[in-house]
Structure 1
Amino acid sequence: MTSVKEPEAIGKLMVSLQKWDSAHKVARRCILDNFIKSNDGKTEPELELELSQGASLFLARLTAWLRMTYPFPWTIGDGMWVKKTTGNLKMESKAAWGAPIWSVNLSLALTNNYTYSTCLDKLLKSIGILLSAASGCRYLIEFLETGGILILLEVLGLNHLKEEDKRESLKLLQIVADAGRKYKELICESYGVRSLAKFLATSSSAEAQEDMQILLGSSDHGNPKYQNQVYKGLLAVLLHATPHHPHPTTPPPTPTPHPPPRAQQRVLQTLGAMQVGSMPPWGRRAVLASMSILPALTGAVPVSSALQAALGSSSTWKRTAWSTV
C-alpha cells in the first residue's frame, strides 16, 4: 500500500511546488493564507503529511522569497523602479536610481511578476508555523543555516517595514530563543543584543515593546555566557548609549535615540527581574528599593540621573549589579 501511495504523494508535492514557483504575488498570498489557516498548531508529522513529506522544500522556498524581498522598499514593474512612499507610489526611471541594467534584468528573472513587494507578515507567520511545530527541530536548524537570525534582526532595523512585520520577526526570534541555550547564544553572537536594544529604544508600539521585553528577559535567563551583554544592553537603553560589542571589526556605534517612557519602564522591570533572580534572598529587598525611579518616567527627572541616584542608594545593589558588568 505504501509503494502505491508514494508516487501519488510525490506527484502531489511536485505540483504544489511548481504552483508556488510559477505564482505571482497575489497567488502566493493566497497560498500563504491557506497554509496558515489549515496548518496553524500542527506538529511535524502532521505538516509532513499535509505537504507530502516536502515541508523542508516548502520552507526553503519561503526562506528564499524572504531573503529576496525584505530589504527592498520598492517594486519593479515595466522597466521602471516603483519606490514605495506613504500613501502613494512614486514612479522613477532606472537611471534616476543609478541601478545597472544587469541588476534589473536579474530582478526580473528572479520574480515572475516583476516585483519585490511581498506580504512579509504572512510570510513570517508561515515560517513560524514550521519553526514552532512540535518535534520540528530540524525546521529550525534548516532556517538558521540559511542565515535566519541575521535576517530577522535586520528586519527590526529597516524603516520601510511596518510594525506588524517587525512583531512577526520578534515572534520568530522568541521561538529561536525558546529552543535552548545554544540558540540564545547564536542570537547574541549575531549582535542581537544591540539590534534588540535599539529597536526597544525606537519602537512606539506597546505590543512590540512587550514582545521585546519578554525576548530580552528570556535571552538573559539560562544564558550565562552572554548575561552581562544583555545586562549592558538594557542599561544602554536607559543611558541613551549603544552597547559596544567587543569585536575588532565592529563599526563605530551610533547613539541610541531617546527611548519613550513606556520602553524605559519595561527596561527597568526587566533589570529588576534579572537582579532579583540572580541575587540571594537577603539582597532582594535592597534591589527592589533601589529600582524606585519610576517618577523619572513622567519626565520630572532625567532617567539617567534617577538611575545613577538609584544605583547609589544601596551599596548592596551597587556591589551586585556592577560586579556582573
Structure 2
Amino acid sequence: MLTQGDQASIGKVLSFLREWDRGDRTVRGRLLNTFLIQNTGKTFYELELEFAQVASLFLARVTTWMRLTFMFGTFLGLQLKAIGVFLSASSHDQYLVEFVEDGGVLTLLEILSHSKSKEEDKTAALCLLLTVSNAGRKYKEFICESNGVKVIAESLATSNTDDTQESARALLESLSHGNPKYQNQIYKGLITLMTCSSPKAQQLVLCTLHIVQSKMKTAHHNIVEPLLHMLRSLHLEVQDAAINLILILKPYDVRPVLLSGLVALLRPSKEEVEQHQNTEESEITQMTGSLPVFVQQAAAAKTMRLLAEGSQEVSSELLSLGVIQHLLFAVGNREHIDSQIQASLALQHFVHSYPAIEEHVQRVTGSTLFAALMYKAETLYMNMDETQAEILQTNNLLITEGFDGDQSKG
C-alpha cells in the first residue's frame, strides 16, 4: 500500500509529465532547464527516487522529441544535456539500454551527419556516444553496425573546432578497444582519414593510429604513402606524430616499402621541386621559406637516423638501399638548412656505426668537410661553399654494405 508521501511523489511526477505532453517547445525548454538544475550529477537511484521509479518515462519523451526535432535545432543542446544526465547516472545501465532501444544512438549519428548541426551540438552528441561506447563491447558493436565509424571519422575530418575533433578522436579510440569484430574497420578508416586537410585532424588521426597499430598483428600497405606524405607537413606536431608512427612500424611487414620510400625522399627530382614552386604551395613557401619537398627531405633524414639508431638490422637495410649516396645529396642542399642538418646527423651516425665506410665518405666530402662532419654535424652547413655542395649533390658513391668488399665502391 502506497504511503501518503509516495502518492504525493507520483502525483508530482504525473503532473510534470502531463505538463510536458501538453506543452509547446517553450514549456518543454523550461522543463528541461528545471530538470538539469535539479538533477545534474545524480545517480540512477537518486533519479528513480526523484521520479517515483518512472524516470524512464521522461527519458523516453526527451529521446523521442530529440529524434523529431533535431534537424531544426530546437533546444537540441538542452536535450543532449538532459540525456547526458541519464546516461552518466552511475550504478546501473537501465537508461543506457532504453536509450539504445529507443533509437537514441541512431539519432546521435544523424545529428553528426546533419549539415546544419552546430559544432557544440556535435561535440555533445560525440560525448554521449563515447559514454555508450565505454559501456561495453555490445554497445561498441552496435555503433559500428550503424555506420558509426564512417560518420564519426567524417566529423573528425570536416570539423573546424578542437572540441569536436578531440571528441571524435576519443570516440574512435574507444571503439577500437575490446571490439575485435570491428577493429580492422576502424583501423582502415583511420588510414583513409590521413588524407584530410586539417592539420589538427591529421595529428589526432596519427596519434590514434599509433595506439590502434600497436594492437594489430600486421600493417596495411595503404598506410605507407599517406604516412610519408605527412612528413612534408609544415606543422611540427603533425610531422612528429608521423615520425613516431613510422618508428612503431619498424617490426611490421611494410618496413621494406617504408624504408625504400624514405630513402627516395632524400632526393626529390628537379621536376618535383619545380612543380611545387609553380603550384599553390608556392604561397606557403613564400611565408615559410621552405618547399614542402625539402621539409619532407629533412624529416625523412631525421626518421632514418632514429630508425637506424634503434636497430642494427634496419641500419643495414638502409645501407643496402644506397642511403649514403642520398644522404650526401641532401647534405648538399643549400636551399634548405634543416635538410642539411638532419642529413648530416644521419650521415654522421652511419660513419660512426660503420668505420669501414669512413674512407669512401671522406673521399667525396674532402678532409676538411669530413672533419667538420665528425666534429659537429649540425653545423656542417656553415662550413660548406657552393662548389662543395655541388660535389655532394653530384656524387656517385655506392655503398650497399657496412664493410669493404666487392659491393662497396667509390
TM-score past 0.5 threshold = yes
Question: Are residues 1:297 and 2:253 paired?
Answer: no
| Secondary structure in structure 1 of the residue aligned to 2:117 | coil
Q: Which residue of 1 aligns with 2:200?
A: 262
Question: Are residues 1:271 and 2:209 paired?
Answer: yes
Max Rg structure: 2
Q: Which residue of 2 aligns with 1:58?
A: 58
Distance across 2 between alignment mates of 1:56 and 1:70: 20
Q: Which residue of 2 aligns with 1:69?
A: 69
Distance across 2 between alignment mates of 1:213 and 1:272: 12
Q: Is the 1:13–1:52 Cα contact (8 Å) retained in structure 2?
A: yes
1:9 Cα deviation from its structure 2 partner:
2.1
Query: Which one-letter code corresponds to 1:32 in the other structure?
Result: L
Query: Which one-letter code corresponds to 2:24 in the other structure?
Result: H
2:128 is matched with which residue: 172, 175, 182?
A: 172
- 1:185-244 Cα offsets, whole Å, 9 max, x none, are 1111111111111111100111111111111111001111110010011011114xxxxx
Q: Is the 2:155–2:164 Cα contact (8 Å) retained in structure 1?
A: no
Distance across 1 between alignment mates of 2:75 and 2:233: 37
Q: Is the 1:265–1:297 Cα contact (8 Å) retained in structure 2?
A: no
Name the stretch that deviates more: 270-279 or 169-178: 270-279
Q: Is the 1:130–1:136 Cα contact (8 Å) retained in structure 2?
A: no
Distance across 2 between alignment mates of 1:214 and 1:152: 16
| Secondary structure in structure 1 of the residue aligned to 2:3 | helix
1:177 Cα deviation from its structure 2 partner:
0.3
Taking the TM superposition and a 5 Å limit, the aligned residue runs for 1:104-143 are 118-143=74-99
Q: Which residue of 1 aligns with 2:251?
A: 316
Instruction: Evaluate the alpha carbon distance shift between residue 182 and residue 160 of structure 1 in structure 2; reply closer, same or farther with a 3 A threshold.
Output: same
Query: Which one-letter code corresponds to 2:197 in the other structure?
Result: P
1:233 is matched with which residue: 172, 189, 192?
A: 189
Taking the TM superposition and a 5 Å limit, the aligned residue runs for 1:211-250 are 211-239=167-195
Percent identity among equivalent residues? 44
Query: Which one-letter code corresponds to 1:297 in the other structure?
Result: S
Q: Is the 1:264–1:297 Cα contact (8 Å) retained in structure 2?
A: no
Q: Using CA pairs under 8 Å that are at least 6 residues apart, name the structure with larger relative contact order, 1 or 2.
A: 1
1:297 Cα deviation from its structure 2 partner:
3.2
Instruction: Evaluate the alpha carbon distance shift between residue 55 and residue 186 of structure 1 in structure 2; reply closer, same or farther with a 3 A threshold.
Output: same
Distance across 2 between alignment mates of 1:37 and 1:297: 46
- 1:70-99 Cα offsets, whole Å, 9 max, x none, are 124xxxxxxxxxxxxxxxxxxxxxxxxxxx
Question: Are residues 1:24 and 2:15 paired?
Answer: no
| Secondary structure in structure 2 of the residue aligned to 1:47 | helix
Taking the TM superposition and a 5 Å limit, the aligned residue runs for 1:185-224 are 185-224=141-180
| Secondary structure in structure 2 of the residue aligned to 1:296 | coil
1:279 Cα deviation from its structure 2 partner:
6.7
Query: Which one-letter code corresponds to 2:14 in the other structure?
Result: M
Q: Which residue of 1 aligns with 2:309?
A: none
1:274 Cα deviation from its structure 2 partner:
1.7
Distance across 2 between alignment mates of 1:313 and 1:227: 18
Q: Is the 2:187–2:213 Cα contact (8 Å) retained in structure 1?
A: no
Distance across 2 between alignment mates of 1:63 and 1:134: 19
Q: TM-score, normalised by structure 1?
A: 0.69
Distance across 2 between alignment mates of 1:197 and 1:58: 32
| Secondary structure in structure 2 of the residue aligned to 1:316 | coil
Give aligned pairs, total: 248
Distance across 2 between alignment mates of 1:187 and 1:140: 13
Distance across 2 between alignment mates of 1:40 and 1:180: 23
1:127 Cα deviation from its structure 2 partner:
0.5
Distance across 2 between alignment mates of 1:221 and 1:149: 19
Query: Which one-letter code corresponds to 2:39 in the other structure?
Result: N
Q: Which residue of 1 aligns with 2:268?
A: none
Q: Is the 2:70–2:111 Cα contact (8 Å) retained in structure 1?
A: yes
For structure 2, the 5+ residue unaligned runs are 258-410
Name the stretch that deviates more: 26-35 or 177-186: 26-35
- 1:129-165 Cα offsets, whole Å, 9 max, x none, are 1011012311111111111111111110111111111
Q: Is the 2:10–2:52 Cα contact (8 Å) retained in structure 1?
A: yes
Q: TM-score, normalised by structure 2?
A: 0.55
For structure 1, the 5+ residue unaligned runs are 73-116, 240-257
Over the aligned positions, Cα root-mean-square deviation in angstroms equals 3.3
Q: Is the 2:10–2:51 Cα contact (8 Å) retained in structure 1?
A: no
Distance across 2 between alignment mates of 1:32 and 1:134: 20
Distance across 1 between alignment mates of 2:249 and 2:104: 43
More helix as a share of residues: 2
Distance across 2 between alignment mates of 1:275 and 1:314: 8
1:311 Cα deviation from its structure 2 partner:
6.4
Instruction: Evaluate the alpha carbon distance shift between residue 295 and residue 311 of structure 1 in structure 2; reply closer, same or farther with a 3 A threshold.
Output: closer
| Secondary structure in structure 2 of the residue aligned to 1:161 | coil
Distance across 2 between alignment mates of 1:313 and 1:133: 39
Distance across 2 between alignment mates of 1:135 and 1:17: 25
Instruction: Evaluate the alpha carbon distance shift between residue 293 and residue 39 of structure 1 in structure 2; reply closer, same or farther with a 3 A threshold.
Output: farther
Instruction: Evaluate the alpha carbon distance shift between residue 139 and residue 312 of structure 1 in structure 2; reply closer, same or farther with a 3 A threshold.
Output: closer
